[in-house]
Structure 1
Amino acid sequence: MVSIEAEALPAFPAGENSRLGFPRGAFRSATLADIPFLRQLYWSFRMEEMEPVPWLQEMKRAFIDGQFNLQHRHYVSVFANADFLILQDKGKAIGRLYVDTSAERWHIIDIGFLPQYRDRGRGLAVLKAIQRQAQSCSASSVFLHVERRNIRAQALYHRLHFHEVDATDTHIGMQWSTV
């Protein structure tokens, strides 16, 4: 039996990330060598929702690994023009930012940090930097999706003047206008 973790995943597109204007040490482009870190990060996002599931830990891990693989394949195929970035602190990987700045409306595909780096203003700083850069590059807006149950993230986006533009049963689409 081939382990899900050993399953070959597609490489990240070669994003330019030149439009973001972040300080160079704050991020770097993701590579396939980052998959173990990104898998750990994804697990940290999903751990809480899996707690009540009466499965063995190995089954939960296999399920989440499979979900990670599906998400990775989806992101790199659908968002081929996006920048897939590893957020860093003193050279250490602490999170990820997937963002597509190739169109007039920028799209934050995903942003997240390891648990020990959450609630420290890092997400706020990254989002403000994206907003500033979107304005300076004459983007029309910045768009993202947030899970309905992620009330804390929604509150952050509201503080940054993102407004609801669409919704499904599970997610809310939010947009910030540069004008």
Structure 2
Amino acid sequence: MTPSSIVRLLAQALQDGAGGHALRAETGADFAFVCALYAEVRHDELAPVPWPDQAKRDFLDAQCRLQRDHYAKHYVGAEFLIIERDARPIGRLYVHATGKEIRLMDIALCSTERNRGLGSRLVHALRDEAARRGVDLTLHVEPTNPAQHLYQRLGFRLIENRGVYDFLGWSAQAADQLNTASN
């Protein structure tokens, strides 16, 4: 299978930075890593819950599986990608492109890889592709997620609060209007 233009663009964004990063399609063999990453990202949410560690892990594994099944069902044709550094998985990026939008379904990095500019490079690459295609780049993010600051800095705007998630969007047209208004 030939990589899509988005996968090629994202892979180039990774190569443009330092650190031996690469991108590849997720396989069934990655599920243990994906679940561990999911659990790491959700750790703080479950910290106050008085369950044994194994019960928390079982719950998070089930949630990870349900999330993956939901994505596969509702985002047919999506790219499920693993981010690697030196041939070791360090994150995941799920993206779905249609003629109307590019949806950043999920991006998650191991805690040791955060705040190094990697996520910013990938989101910039997706913004560039959205602008080239003339479509919006959209995503869902929890209102308390620290990534909210990154998305605001990169020009995303709140489209709608959907309860547990904020639905954010970026468009080249809105970014141009904002830049024009600020000049």
TM-score (norm 1): 0.86
CA RMSD of aligned residues (A): 1.6
Task: Decide which structure has greater helix share.
Answer: 2
Separation in structure 1 between the aligned mates of residue 98 and residue 152 of structure 2, nearest angstrom = 24
Q: Percent identity?
A: 34
- 1:143 aligns with 138
Give the counterpart of 1:40 among 6, 31, 36.
36
Gaps of 5+ in 2: 13-20, 174-183
1:47-58, aligned counterparts within 5 Å?
A: 47-58=43-54
Separation in structure 1 between the aligned mates of residue 45 and residue 2 of structure 2, nearest angstrom = 32
1:17-166, aligned counterparts within 5 Å?
A: 17-20=4-7, 21-23=9-11, 26-136=22-132, 138-150=133-145, 152-166=146-160
Q: 1:113 to 1:15 in 2, by over 3 A?
A: farther
Q: 1:105 to 1:15 in 2, by over 3 A?
A: farther
Could you tell me whether the CA contact under 8 Å between 2:99 and 2:135 is conserved in 1? no
1:169: Cα distance to partner? 2.1
Could you tell me whether the CA contact under 8 Å between 2:35 and 2:61 is conserved in 1? yes
Could you tell me whether the CA contact under 8 Å between 1:95 and 1:112 is conserved in 2? yes
1:15: Cα distance to partner? 8.6
Q: 1:15 to 1:109 in 2, by over 3 A?
A: farther
- 2:171 aligns with 177
Q: 1:18 to 1:172 in 2, by over 3 A?
A: same
1:135: Cα distance to partner? 1.9
Could you tell me whether the CA contact under 8 Å between 1:15 and 1:83 is conserved in 2? no
Gaps of 5+ in 1: 1-13
- 1:3 aligns with none
Could you tell me whether the CA contact under 8 Å between 2:6 and 2:126 is conserved in 1? no
Moved over 6 A (4+): none
Q: 1:15 to 1:41 in 2, by over 3 A?
A: farther
Separation in structure 1 between the aligned mates of residue 83 and residue 171 of structure 2, nearest angstrom = 25
Opposite residue 117 of structure 2, the aligned amino acid is G
